[in-house]
């Protein structure tokens, strides 16, 4: 068998779903055909390699590859597959290559060779690079597809290299008509997948800046990225960004244009200097070409796959590295002259894109033009949410004018929005230190407070807050003073000083009203509304303020403020899941408009997880966090965003009793600097309790109690989580009392506090007291369905343990009343926990067993659509309309992975195996 090419990355990135699809086809042991399409270097061969490595040992594998020029060599792919296989009959091999034999005879000989090698065993047969395959190999592929048996036939090809004259063109059309073909289209890697590939290949996460630069440089093509990595072994991703192309890769890329005529070569060189986006008129002016001449050359370059038509009268290189390889061959003076020509054309035409002007002014050495364009471009790109582009332009301008306040302000804001906190702090400090007006000083401090908080630089944050207070005393009433007050309100809120946050936000609002400062007013309202949501007695008022300012903020293009307000709103218990999902999507859109990466990505997936939890779907909540964390894992981040999903995900793994997964995430979190003090001890204690490790739990508890003593806030939710784990373990009563006393204080009075008190009362045998507590919060709207399920389970246990409590509440007597009451509580819990799992469901099953009830996951007595939850009925109706998982995801604002979970649950509950059967049942129901 042919040896398949490998890659620089030890793991395959971004092809998990495609690999699973092929694996399912191979494991089904039924005849199947799969066609894998993608551009050169996209990973077709690597995908096949990963599949073959996962096959069972009894699977026969044949892999043949066509090569350029194979069109004139009959059965080249089969010959390549059987090369050096001694079991192939020599006479058959001779007959296959004998041109005197008829085409039909030779085709049957090829089929016989394959049949002899495969027999009745399961098999995977691979024809690589069908776009180069000869007609005989194409015919053989088609005939193999017609045969029965447990075999998967795979073909790979490059769509851009297929013409009507090639045998593969007719083959693909006929296969589509005659067979159920599984099509696998491989796209380029996303920026997050590029980061993951860099992390896998170098052994260390990449900085967001390096990942973005290398993604742009390679266009997300895995082969190009691997060639860069191979060309400079041992370099980290930061150092790799500025390295020249390896000779081998540059040579491959330049071959695409080596045979151009002189006019075409002149035009492609001009295009290479112009950049990734190439306006037609600009190229014509720089290259000195007529319109007809340029159209002819561009058509040829598009046909060759060098350029693509990216927009109206605009072109781009298909791969950025091709442009880079062409430009590297040019003389420096030649490049400068082309930049100069481009700049003159742009300035004469009143160009509206300052990025183009700055690029060519820099290349031409005209630095005054460059700085002016960088100022305009930084402001423009910040206003449209292109944070990375804004940062690049600001840094370009700062090379020539390092103390420019406008550029420093833009660089600080852009770096913060892009999540580059080190750069944001550095530029923010330079902006503050060089501020020549009080307006700049107030603005810089407002941004720096936020950056310092996200970087967990709390001492610096407090120092800046004192600095702002001093500044306020020196400022006259007006815009600057109001802005400074808003900065203090933000700082106080982030540091959990809620009284100070309200005081300063109200003072800022008073000045905003007095001096008619609408933008300051919006910023102050965000701080005030956010602060009020932290106070149970005024949370509704805070939500009303935040909901009321979103429209106004969006109309004023204050996308950051709108996204922050919406982010607070989506963390609250949803009155309407549909409305909450719409808010979450709106938050993401606004954050993307601002270029606010942490909200657009990280907070978005946490919002999806919370929505799933409120829907009672633990698997979907975990899937959302896994998806978000997967997007983040390849990046090197700091501060709050270092492993933003880790704590939440570890908690859900513990909830689901997936303890090994929880332990792995906790180990990852240990390596993250600046975790909140209670994070690691809390998770470690919880894990020890769920594992039943009393010694480990007691040892970890001392660390947790010390950390909790320094925690400035208390949470009934946190208390319920940890107390539940301690009760399951059977933590000794004195230690349990110590934990409860530290977790809760006199200010913690909400439904969760009542729940914890009921749990503790039940543990101490005070069942009537516990029952009263459970029943008082059984319908509390601030508590999610899974925890309400646990409340009903607790109430059922209390009823079974204390018949007198049941008779007192129902007017009946004896154990029959307690059993009936407990059964009612269990049925309520069963409904609430239908989509859950883990320890809560285990507790439910224990009580069901005591009552002699069937397990909750037994086949439901109710069949048909009535067996589904409301959400599942909604999904089932959409399935009956023919929607795919991707279409379901778009319609319901969920991920395709979550949609797949819903579909799986529906098929299981209805006892059917296909989406068609779901539709039939829905229509009958």
Q: What is the pLDDT of residue 591?
A: 92
Q: What is the pLDDT of residue 808?
A: 46
- What is the mean predicted confidence (pLDDT) over 700-727? 90
Quick one: pLDDT band at residue 667, thresholds 50, 70, 90?
A: very high
Quick one: pLDDT band at residue 5, thresholds 50, 70, 90?
A: very low
Residues near 450 by beta carbon (within 8 Å), at least 6 away in sequence: 416, 490, 494
- What is the mean predicted confidence (pLDDT) over 294-304? 90
Tell me: pLDDT of 367 over 90. yes
- Closest C-alpha among 692, 669, 690 to residue 681: 669
123-128, strands of its sheet edge to edge:
60-65, 123-128, 151-157, 32-37, 181-185
The three-class DSSP label of residue 852 is coil
- What is the mean predicted confidence (pLDDT) over 157-161? 86
Give the whole-angstrom CA distance, residue 755 versus residue 782. Answer: 12
Give the residue, 89 or 626, on which the prediction is more confident. 626
- Whether residue 307 contacts residue 301, with contact meaning beta carbons closer than 8 Å, is answered with yes
- Whether residue 527 contacts residue 490, with contact meaning beta carbons closer than 8 Å, is answered with yes
The three-class DSSP label of residue 403 is coil
Residues near 785 by beta carbon (within 8 Å), at least 6 away in sequence: 614, 615, 616, 832, 833, 836
Alpha-helical regions (H) of 203-246 = 208-218, 222-231, 237-240
Give the whole-angstrom CA distance, residue 197 versus residue 202. Answer: 8
Q: What is the pLDDT of residue 3?
A: 39
Q: What is the pLDDT of residue 872?
A: 82
Other beta carbons within 10 angstroms of residue 240's beta carbon come to 21
For tokens 């690691």, the residue is 680
What tokens appear for 542 in the block?
């805070």
Other beta carbons within 10 angstroms of residue 400's beta carbon come to 15
* β-bridge partners, 63: 126
- What is the mean predicted confidence (pLDDT) over 800-807? 66
What tokens appear for 821 in the block?
């009451």
Give the whole-angstrom CA distance, residue 547 versus residue 543. Answer: 6
Q: What is the pLDDT of residue 172?
A: 84
Tell me: pLDDT of 886 over 80. no
**First-to-last CA distance in the chain?**
54
- What is the mean predicted confidence (pLDDT) over 63-81? 81
Return the H-helix or E-strand segment holding 913.
none
Give the whole-angstrom CA distance, residue 629 versus residue 602. Answer: 8
Give the residue, 474 or 925, on which the prediction is more confident. 474
Average per-residue pLDDT for the chain:
87
What tokens appear for 456 in the block?
């967990």
Q: What is the pLDDT of residue 865?
A: 66
Tell me: pLDDT of 864 over 70. no
Residues near 434 by beta carbon (within 8 Å), at least 6 away in sequence: 403, 405, 408
Share of the chain above pLDDT 70, in %: 94
Tell me: pLDDT of 751 over 50. yes
- What is the mean predicted confidence (pLDDT) over 343-359? 85
Give the residue, 482 or 630, on which the prediction is more confident. 482
- Closest C-alpha among 817, 908, 895 to residue 859: 908
Work out whether the CA dihedral 151, 156, 162, 167 comes out positive or negative: negative
- Whether residue 390 contacts residue 420, with contact meaning beta carbons closer than 8 Å, is answered with no
Tell me: pLDDT of 261 over 60. yes
- Return the minimum-mean-pLDDT range out of 106-115, 629-638, 859-868: 859-868
| CA 293 from centre of chain | 45
Other beta carbons within 10 angstroms of residue 694's beta carbon come to 15
What are the CA-CA distances from residue 136 to residues 79, 516, 772 (Å)? 11, 80, 81
Q: What is the pLDDT of residue 8?
A: 60
For tokens 């001492």, the residue is 459
Q: What is the pLDDT of residue 72?
A: 60
- Closest C-alpha among 470, 711, 435 to residue 487: 470
Tell me: pLDDT of 682 over 90. yes
Rounded to the nearest 5 degrees, what angle is found at the Cα of 174, between the Cα atoms of 170 and 175?
115
Give the whole-angstrom CA distance, residue 241 versus residue 191. Answer: 14
Q: What is the pLDDT of residue 893?
A: 61
Q: What is the pLDDT of residue 809?
A: 47
Work out whether the CA dihedral 375, 381, 384, 385 comes out positive or negative: negative
- What is the mean predicted confidence (pLDDT) over 404-420? 94
- What is the mean predicted confidence (pLDDT) over 134-160? 89
182-228 pLDDT tens trace: 899 999 998 888 888 888 888 888 888 888 888 888 888 888 888 88
Give the whole-angstrom CA distance, residue 891 versus residue 889. Answer: 6
- What is the mean predicted confidence (pLDDT) over 645-674? 93
Quick one: pLDDT band at residue 856, thresholds 50, 70, 90?
A: low
User: Residue-wise over 744-764: b if at least 16 C-beta within 10 A, else e?
Assistant: beeebeebbbbbbbbbbbbbe
* β-bridge partners, 125: 62, 153
843 CB burial (10 A radius; 0-12, 13-18, 19+)? buried
Share of the chain above pLDDT 90, in %: 47
- Closest C-alpha among 785, 630, 500, 833 to residue 190: 630
Residues near 168 by beta carbon (within 8 Å), at least 6 away in sequence: 130, 131, 133, 138, 157, 162
In DSSP notation, 692-760 reads: T-HHHHHHHHHHHHHHHHH-S---HHHHHHHHHHHHHHT--HHHHHHHHHHH--TT--SHHHHHHHHHH
- Closest C-alpha among 877, 915, 866, 875 to residue 893: 875
Give the residue, 461 or 892, on which the prediction is more confident. 461
For tokens 């913060």, the residue is 416
Q: What is the pLDDT of residue 804?
A: 58
Give the whole-angstrom CA distance, residue 315 versus residue 592. Answer: 26
Give the phi and the psi of residue 730 in degrees, each rounded to 5. Answer: 85, 40
Give the phi and the psi of residue 215 in degrees, each rounded to 5. Answer: -65, -45
Give the whole-angstrom CA distance, residue 473 versus residue 275. Answer: 50
In DSSP notation, 558-573 reads: -HHHHHHHHHHHTTSP
Alpha-helical regions (H) of 88-157 = 90-96, 103-118, 135-146
What tokens appear for 747 in the block?
């200010």
- Whether residue 256 contacts residue 306, with contact meaning beta carbons closer than 8 Å, is answered with yes
Give the phi and the psi of residue 103 in degrees, each rounded to 5. Answer: -55, -35
768-792 pLDDT tens trace: 999 999 999 999 988 999 999 999 9
- Return the minimum-mean-pLDDT range out of 42-51, 98-107, 828-837: 98-107
Give the whole-angstrom CA distance, residue 548 versus residue 551. Answer: 7
């Amino acid at each position: 068998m042919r040896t398949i090419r490998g890659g620089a990355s030890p793991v395959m990135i971004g092809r998990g779903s495609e690999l699973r699809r092929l694996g399912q086809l191979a494991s089904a042991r039924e005849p199947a055909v799969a066609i894998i399409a993608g551009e050169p270097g996209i990973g077709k061969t690597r995908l096949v390699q990963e599949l073959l490595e996962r096959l069972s040992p009894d699977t026969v594998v044949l892999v043949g590859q066509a090569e350029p020029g194979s069109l004139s060599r009959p059965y080249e792919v089969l010959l390549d597959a059987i090369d050096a296989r001694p079991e192939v009959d020599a006479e058959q091999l001779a007959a296959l290559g004998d041109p005197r034999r008829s085409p039909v005879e030779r085709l049957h000989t090829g089929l016989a060779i394959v049949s002899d090698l495969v027999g009745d065993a399961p098999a995977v047969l691979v024809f690589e690079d069908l776009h180069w395959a000869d007609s005989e190999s194409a015919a053989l592929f088609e005939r193999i597809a017609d045969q029965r048996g447990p075999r998967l036939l795979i073909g790979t090809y490059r769509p851009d290299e297929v013409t009507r004259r090639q045998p593969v063109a007719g083959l693909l059309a006929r296969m589509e008509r005659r067979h159920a073909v599984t099509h696998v289209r491989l796209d380029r890697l996303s920026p997050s997948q590029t980061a993951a590939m860099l992390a896998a290949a170098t052994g260390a996460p990449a900085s967001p800046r390096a990942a973005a630069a290398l993604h742009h440089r390679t266009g997300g093509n895995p082969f190009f990225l691997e060639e860069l990595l191979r060309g400079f072994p041992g370099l980290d991703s930061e150092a790799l960004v500025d390295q020249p192309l390896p000779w081998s890769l540059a040579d491959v890329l330049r071959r695409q244009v080596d045979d151009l005529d002189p006019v075409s070569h002149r035009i492609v060189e001009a295009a290479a200097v112009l950049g990734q986006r190439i306006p037609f008129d600009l190229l014509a002016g720089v290259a000195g070409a007529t319109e007809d001449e340029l159209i002819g050359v561009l058509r040829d370059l598009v046909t060759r796959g060098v350029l693509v038509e990216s927009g109206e009268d605009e072109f781009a290189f298909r791969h950025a590295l091709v442009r880079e390889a062409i430009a590297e061959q040019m003389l420096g003076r030649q490049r400068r002259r082309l930049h100069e020509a481009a700049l003159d054309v742009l300035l004469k035409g009143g160009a509206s894109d300052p990025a183009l002007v700055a690029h060519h002014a820099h290349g031409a050495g005209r630095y005054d033009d460059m700085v002016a364009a960088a100022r305009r471009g930084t402001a423009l790109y910040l206003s449209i949410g292109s944070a990375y582009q804004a940062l690049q332009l600001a840094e370009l301008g700062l090379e020539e004018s390092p103390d420019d306040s406008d550029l420093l302000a833009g660089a600080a804001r852009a770096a913060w929005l892009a999540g580059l906190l080190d750069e944001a702090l550095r530029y923010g400090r330079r902006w503050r230190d060089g501020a020549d007006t009080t307006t700049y000083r107030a603005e810089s401090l407002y941004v720096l407070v936020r950056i310092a908080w996200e970087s967990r630089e709390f001492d610096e944050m407090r120092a800046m807050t004192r600095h702002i207070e001093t500044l306020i005393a020196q400022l006259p009433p007006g815009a600057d003073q109001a802005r400074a007050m808003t900065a203090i309100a933000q700082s106080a809120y982030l540091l959990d000083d809620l009284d100070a946050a309200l005081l300063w936000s109200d003072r800022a609002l008073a000045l905003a009203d007095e001096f008619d400062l609408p933008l300051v007013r919006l910023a102050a309202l965000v701080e005030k509304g956010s602060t009020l949501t932290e106070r149970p007695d005024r949370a509704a008022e805070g939500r009303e303020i935040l909901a009321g300012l979103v429209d106004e903020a969006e109309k004023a293009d204050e996308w950051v403020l709108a996204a922050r307000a919406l982010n607070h709103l989506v963390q609250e218990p949803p009155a309407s899941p549909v409305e909450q999902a719409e808010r979450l999507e709106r938050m993401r859109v606004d954050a993307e408009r601002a270029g606010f990466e942490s909200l657009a990505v990280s907070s978005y997936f946490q919002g999806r997880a919370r929505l799933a939890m409120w829907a009672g779907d633990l698997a979907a909540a975990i899937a959302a966090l896994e998806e978000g964390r997967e997007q983040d894992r390849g990046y090197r981040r700091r501060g709050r965003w270092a492993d933003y999903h880790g704590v939440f995900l570890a908690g859900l793994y513990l909830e689901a009793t997936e303890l090994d997964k929880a332990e792995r995430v906790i180990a990852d979190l240990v390596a993250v600097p600046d975790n909140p003090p209670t994070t690691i001890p809390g998770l470690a204690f919880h894990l020890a309790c769920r594992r039943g490790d009393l010694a480990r739990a007691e040892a970890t508890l001392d660390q947790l109690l010390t950390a909790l003593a320094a925690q400035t806030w208390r949470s009934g939710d946190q208390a319920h989580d940890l107390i539940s784990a301690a009760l399951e373990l059977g933590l000794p009563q004195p230690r349990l009392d110590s934990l409860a006393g530290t977790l809760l204080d006199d200010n913690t009075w909400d439904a969760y506090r009542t729940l914890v008190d009921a749990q503790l009362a039940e543990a101490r045998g005070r069942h009537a007291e516990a029952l009263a507590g459970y029943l008082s919060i059984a319908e509390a709207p601030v508590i999610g369905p899974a925890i309400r399920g646990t409340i009903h389970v607790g109430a059922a246990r209390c009823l079974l343990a204390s018949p007198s409590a049941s008779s007192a509440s129902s007017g009946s007597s004896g154990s029959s009343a307690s059993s009936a009451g407990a059964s009612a509580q269990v049925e309520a819990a069963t409904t609430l926990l239908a989509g859950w799992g883990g320890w809560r469901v285990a507790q439910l099953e224990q009580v069901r067993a005591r009552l002699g009830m069937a397990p909750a996951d037994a086949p439901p007595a109710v069949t048909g659509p009535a067996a589904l939850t409301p959400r599942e009925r909604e999904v089932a109706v959409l399935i009956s309309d023919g929607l795919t998982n991707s279409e379901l995801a778009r319609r319901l604002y969920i991920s395709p992975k979550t949609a797949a979970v819903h579909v799986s649950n529906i098929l299981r509950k209805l006892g059917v195996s296909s989406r068609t059967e779901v539709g039939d049942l829905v229509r009958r129901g």
